[in-house]
Amino acid sequence: MKIEKIYDKGIGMMNEDQLLIKENLFAVFDGATSLNNFFDSEGKTGGFLASFIAKETFSADNGSLTKLAQLANEKIMQEMINNDVDISKKDNLWSTGFAAIKINSDTLEWAQISDCLILLMNKDNSIKLLVEEYSHDKEIMIKWKNLGTISREEKWNILFDKIVNLRKNQNITYGVLNSEKEYIKFIKTGSVNLKGVRHIVIFTDGLIPPKESPEMPDKFDDFVKNFLDGGITRVKNKIREMENKDSECQKYPRYKKQDDIAAISITL
């Protein structure tokens, strides 16, 4: 088994994503800070804290992936309370998505929430994305694209209320771990026979390839080609290259020039 990992900060002050490799458990976590922009006494954001708490929970505890998600959700709630966060107000909640797998002999156990993804590449060159419905900000990105060639800042300001409302729909229209019990409606799980599987890649949304048309499904053809040519490092470098050539987020609609990335690849 060959393992490669990527941990790369976007344009923010810190990487709010996390990754975990422990024995047969592999996971990535995508933190998102609260709408009130919480910082703790050490300057850490709520998004960083949420993803870090989830990572530590998955690392320290045993049990099924769904049980670990439940524990992580509860510990995020407790840590917010410890930091005097009023968790009755949705604006205050720290949150994280995740994708996690356990490799057991010839079987892959998996769990996922939000837009952290798991991609299988098979020996016959076919690919399988374990979760296909994950783009909760598709409608905003369509509006973003339709605003034309004005600056990223102007688009952000025009769409700000819609972006805020989307965040307030956590665990209503899409799921995250943020202390709310309703996350359970959105967590996706399953198991896969690994016969014929050559590579497994789990990654946060910073490694999803940029696309020109937000109404269209994500395409992973170039992702796979780049991976086979040079692993996830090459995938990351190609995505950063595309982003750097589109700093105003006009050709490829997205909230910011570069997002955080946490990714792990396993070659069987």
Query: Tokens representing 220?
Result: 């992973």
Instruction: Summarize pLDDT for 166-191 with one digit per residue, the tens.
Output: 999 999 999 999 999 999 999 999 99
Global pTM reads 0.96
Instruction: Summarize pLDDT for 212-265 with one digit per residue, the tens.
Output: 999 999 999 999 999 999 999 999 999 999 999 999 999 999 999 999 999 999
Instruction: Summarize pLDDT for 37-49 with one digit per residue, the tens.
Output: 899 999 999 999 9
In order of their start, the domains of the chain are: 2-134+170-246+257-267 (3.60.40.10)
Confidence category of residue 61, pLDDT binned at 50, 70, 90: confident
